[in-house]
Amino acid sequence: MHTASRTGHRGTAAAAVAVFLGGYAAAGSATSDIVRETLLLAGWFLCALVTGLADRNWRAYLRQTEQRALEAERTREEAALRRAGEERLRIARELHDSLTHSISIVKLQAGVAVHLARKRGEEVPPALLAIQEASGEAMRELRATLEVLRTDEPTGAPALLVERARAAGLAVDLTVTGEERPLTATVDRAMYRIVQEALTNAARHAGPAKVSVRLAYGGGDLTVLVEDDGAADPSRPPEPGIGLTGMRERVTALGGTLDAAPREEGGFAVRARLPLGEAG
């Protein structure tokens, strides 16, 4: 009776109890003892009914409480993501209004000085050439940073990154293996940023190299592998920059692993393993 009322089959249970009590009363003689025992059994069955209903209501209350907690958590996450997006845009505006102007002035003045020196037939000071090159590199880095800050994807489309890299003159191939499936927002964003940063580094440092991007979906993880056959030398590993450090921090936060180093046969490889969660 308790189990039936807890699972919502109170009518069936009540009918079975009525048949049982009727049969029990009919099986005995119509004495006061039989009547008393029948009433006592009916009281026990009624208690089972009440406890089953109480258990059912308690479970429903727990489910509702859990649902409300999950909804509140989603609301907090959405608010946090919205505030983070607003903060990224604010930082992007500040960087654009301050650093972009200053670096542009430095680059322009250095270029004018180099031009005038060459026009007069003078030897251009190495320090001036270094300033011109460094300012140009700083401007490219700043533009890339502003693009990241103003982008609120994950887009879930590394093919877009590959197409952009090809349009910029980089020879890139994309391969996807395993059963492709939806990713959680954090894993999707991490995968996108890893491919983006690896292709950016290949375009800057690998020279005229071929690059392969491989996404391998496993049972519980996603492996991202970006390799090039450029000029990286295993005997001279590069110093980790902001890009590689950011990739490592992003992967570590998800409980994954990242290996980024020159290959034995030459070139550079970035391999990341990202644990897959349930896509929300």
Q: What does the domain layout of the chain look like in residue ranges?
A: 2-74, 156-280
CA gap 187, 279 in Å, rounded? 9
Q: What is the DSSP letter of 217?
A: E
Instruction: Tell me the percentage of the chain whose pLDDT exceeds 90.
Output: 9
The stretch 142-149 carries a mean pLDDT of 72
Region 58-83: what's the mean pLDDT? 82
Phi-psi region of 209 (alpha: psi -120 to 50; beta: other; left: phi over 0): beta
pLDDT at 280: 40
Of the listed ranges 155-164, 215-224, 257-266, the least confidently predicted one is: 155-164
**In residues, how long is the chain?**
280
Over residues 225-234, mean pLDDT: 82
Q: What is the mean pLDDT of residues 205-230?
A: 87
For the ranges 26-40, 102-116, 156-170, 251-265, which has the lowest average pLDDT? 26-40
Res. 12: pLDDT tops 50: yes
CB-facing half-sphere around the CA of 260: CA atoms within 13 A: 25
- Express as a percent the part of the chain with pLDDT over 70: 90
- Measured CA to CA in angstroms, residue 6 lies from 15, 44, 67, 255 at distances of 16, 16, 20, 41
Angle at 204 between CA 198 and CA 207, to 5 degrees: 105
Among 63, 43, 31, 35, smallest CA distance to 1 is for 43
pLDDT for the residue numbered 223: 94
- Region 134-159: mean pLDDT is 70
Quick one: pLDDT at residue 31?
67
pLDDT (average), residues 173-180: 90
- The predicted pLDDT at position 150 comes to 66
The answer to whether 193 touches 147, Cβ cutoff 8 Å, is no
pLDDT for residue 185: 79
The correct CATH number of 156-280 out of 3.90.1170.50, 3.30.565.10, 1.25.10.10, 3.40.1390.40 is 3.30.565.10
CA–CA separation, 215 vs 218, rounded Å? 10
Phi, psi of 232 (to 5 degrees): -65, 140
What are the C-alpha distances in Å from 211 to residues 21, 33, 169, 267?
81, 92, 11, 9
| pLDDT > 90? residue 94 | no
Which of residues 102 and 271 earns the better pLDDT score?
271
- Could you tell me which residues are beta bridge partners of residue 257? 273
- 273 pLDDT more than 90: yes
With a cut of 60, say whether residue 128 has pLDDT above it. Answer: yes
Nearest 5 degrees, angle CA 145-CA 151-CA 157?
Answer: 110
Return the pLDDT at 32. 67
Nearest to 48 by CA among 14, 74, 20: 14
pLDDT at residue 279 greater than cutoff 60: no
Tell me, what DSSP letter sits at residue 98?
I
Confidence at residue 164, expressed as pLDDT on a 0 to 100 scale: 80
- Structural contact between residues 208 and 243, judged by C-beta atoms closer than 8 angstroms: no
Least confident of 45-49, 203-207, 250-254: 203-207
Which of 22-31, 41-50, 135-144, 177-186 is predicted least confidently? Answer: 22-31
**84: three-class secondary structure by DSSP:** helix
* Half-sphere exposure of residue 81: CA atoms within 13 angstroms, side-chain side: 12
Q: What residues pair up with 223 in beta bridges, in sequence order?
A: 216, 273
Task: Quote the pLDDT of residue 216.
Answer: 93
User: Span 186-215, mean pLDDT?
Assistant: 84
169/117: higher pLDDT: 117
Task: Provide the CB-side half-sphere exposure for 52 (13 A, CA).
Answer: 18
The answer to whether residues 271 and 225 touch, using CB atoms and an 8 Å cutoff, is yes
- Tell me how far apart the alpha carbons of residues 260 and 252 are, in angstroms, rounded to a whole number: 14
- For the segment 108-114, the average pLDDT, to the nearest whole number, is 88
How far is Cα 66 from Cα 74, in angstroms, rounded to an integer?
12
Mean pLDDT of the chain: 81
pLDDT at 85 over 80: no
Q: What is the DSSP letter of 233?
A: -
pTM above 0.75, yes or no: no
